[in-house]
Structure 1
Amino acid sequence: MLRTDGEQIMFNVFEAMKRHDEEPQCQRVEVIEEVVKDVFAEETPNPPLERIMVNSIDELEEEGDHEIEDCLQHLKSSRVDESPKVEKLILNVQEK
C-alpha cells in the first residue's frame, strides 16, 4: 500500500507476478531502504556522548600506559646489583 497526500494505492503483488511479461520496467522492485540505512549510517555522526566516552577510554588507556612506563623506569633505576642483605649479614657475623 502506498499513501501520499491523502491518496492510497494498493498493489496486488500476486496479480503483478502473473503479468510480468507485459511491462518489465513496471515490475521492478528496488531495494531502497537498505541503501538509505547505509548512507544514513555513514553520514550521521556519532552522538556526542558516545564520542566523549570513546575518547575518554582512549585517554585513560594512554594514561595507564604512561603510568606503567614510569613504574618500569622507577624499578629499573632503583634496581640493586649488589648481593642480597642476607649474605651481608652472614659475612658480618662471620667476621666478628
Structure 2
Amino acid sequence: MFSVFEALRRHDEEEPQCHRVEVIEVMEDKCKVQPPSLPVEREVVDALDEQEVEWNREIEIFLQQLED
C-alpha cells in the first residue's frame, strides 16, 4: 500500500525527481452508470458532487502553491 508520508520522507533521501499521484477514475465511472432514482438519494448525490467540485478547486490551489 502506498504511503504518502513514507514517500515524502524518502523524497529527501533520493535524487530530485517528479513524484506524481495518478488518479484512477474507475469508481467515478461506475457511480455515474446508474443514477439514483429516489429524490432523497438524488439530493445526497448532488451534495456530494458539489463537495467534489470544491475539493477539486482546493486541490488545484494546492498544486499551484506547490509549483510556485
TM-score bucket of the superposed structures, by smaller chain: 0.3 to 0.5
Pick the structure with more strand per residue. Answer: 1
TM-score (structure 1 length as normaliser): 0.32
TM-score (structure 2 length as normaliser): 0.44
Larger radius of gyration: 1
Q: Which one scores higher on RCO, CA 8 angstroms, separation ≥ 6?
A: 2
